[in-house]
A and B are shown apart, each in its own frame.
Chain A
Amino acid sequence: MRYEAPTTTEGAVALLAAANGTAKVLAGGTDLIVQMRSGRLAPDLVVDLKRIPALTSIAAENGGYRVGAAKACMELVEHEAFVRDCPGITDAVKLIGSIQVKGRASMGGNLCNASPAADSTPALIAARVTARVVGPNGSRDVPVQEIAIGPGKTSLGKGEILESFLLPKRAARSGDAYLRFTPRTEMDIAVVSAAVNLTLDEGGVCRDACVSLGAVAERALVVPEAAAALIGTKVDEVALKALAAAASAACRPIDDKRGTKAYRTKVAGVLARRAAEIALNRAKGTN
């Protein structure tokens, strides 16, 4: 195996584009090294992205934030402004493994590992985050939900890397939240998860919403029917029930070692409802 640590995105792209055999990028390494150790993966080239400033920085942009795809989760959860402005994404980032794992793991790695159970993905989707992809033919901005397309599969082409995320400016009276279910309090992979992002008008009526579910399909789902259950309501009991029903109805999970179809389907609704309640409180500024 060859290990390279370029200091520019272009350098990384050039290495990947020129690679023969299996080339992998190293962000936090918390999935890559585990896969290599288990024998599932034996890359010929590993390109370490953590020495590239564009991938490891965070900066204000258009009232929101541009976050490097390889920025360590612990650096994000210690970033006071980010935590204040991006509560739903913070919820998710805080859940990506132990403190040790978060010391290395990143949102970009979490997304590009393309596990349907990735914690940050539903939160990024609900928050309508855009990913910047850089490749041999330049860069393109794509919605996050178009990156991970199936278990272990991304839409990135040869030589392309995910450079950064743009977290858009949050509208007034809006709030988001992410919840997952795991058997243990920590150190688990989501059995099922839900992210809700909503915006209220001055009268407290929900005018915009986005709901995303994790671990209930081959990729994180966007569930417009669930969002529709909230829009036009005061996110009251009736709306929350409809939200839960729509979330459960959208699930197409599998039975595996971490959960059953029936369990995931039911609890997706439970979590969507609970996440909506938290998001509502955040939108009202009462959390």
Chain B
Amino acid sequence: MAKHHVTTTLNGSPVEYLCEPHHTLLDVLRDDLNLTGTKEGCGSGDCGACSVMLDGRLVCACLTFAAECNGRTIETIEGMANGTKLHPLQQKFLEHAALQCGICTPGMLISAKALLEKKPDPTEEEVRYWLAGNLCRCTGYNKIVEAVLDAAAELRRA
């Protein structure tokens, strides 16, 4: 079977790739486009480490066929900072020690950003339920939730 030719907007730039029909967006990001910031923790949508934005919606890259993305907009962790300026969430994760091993961090950040875009002033409970699809085994979630709430406050002030 011939490969699919897919044209996307990836982190703001036009990006084309060829993919096998059964390959996922995660496969293509990591293995073909060398964007390894999107992590594979489970490959079944249960851990959220591969969270990306697809046409402005939070999805798991492992549960998306690469071939589906033709004409679509993809945002990954590599596009989160504005050039050399970290996104407030990235900065707050650092300041709050909200990462230990850091493997869940890219997915957490993408997921948290999606939350704050919809809900600039979430409660702790709303943060916890929104992030329920992003597993972290190191932090017990305390400092992640604190960092998200603090980043939300900062974004509201901005």
Contact = CB atoms under 8 A, between A and B. Distances in A.
A97 B62 CA distance: 14
B132 A185 contact: yes
Interface of B: 1, 4, 21-22, 24, 43-46, 48, 51, 54, 57-60, 62-65, 67-68, 70, 111, 114-115, 118, 129-130, 132-134
Contacts of B58: 74, 99-100, 103
Size class of the contact patch on chain A: 20 to 34
Contacts of A101: 45, 60, 63, 133
Nearest to B19: A3
B78 to A, nearest CB: 18
Interface string A24-39: 0010111001101110
Contacts, number: 89
A46 B60 CA distance: 19
Contacts of B59: 100, 103-104
A26 B68 CA distance: 10
Interface in A161-216: 185-187
A104 B115 CA distance: 16
Given A99-B130, A99-B133, A48 B51 contact: no
Interface of B is mostly: mixed
Interface string A209-248: 0000000000000000000000000000000000000000
A46 B133 contact: no
A185 to B, nearest CB: 7
Contacts of A38: 44
28 contacts: A5-B68, A28-B63, A29-B63, A29-B64, A29-B65, A30-B63, A33-B65, A34-B44, A36-B22, A37-B43, A38-B44, A46-B21, A48-B68, A72-B57, A74-B58, A97-B133, A98-B134, A99-B115, A99-B133, A100-B59, A100-B63, A100-B111, A101-B133, A103-B58, A104-B60, A104-B64, A185-B129, A187-B133
A187 B62 contact: no
Nearest to B43: A37
A1 B22 contact: yes
A38 B111 CA distance: 26
Given A1-B22, A104-B59, A104-B63, A50 B45 contact: no
Contact of B133 (A2, A34, A50, A98): A98
Nearest to A33: B63
Contacts of B43: 37
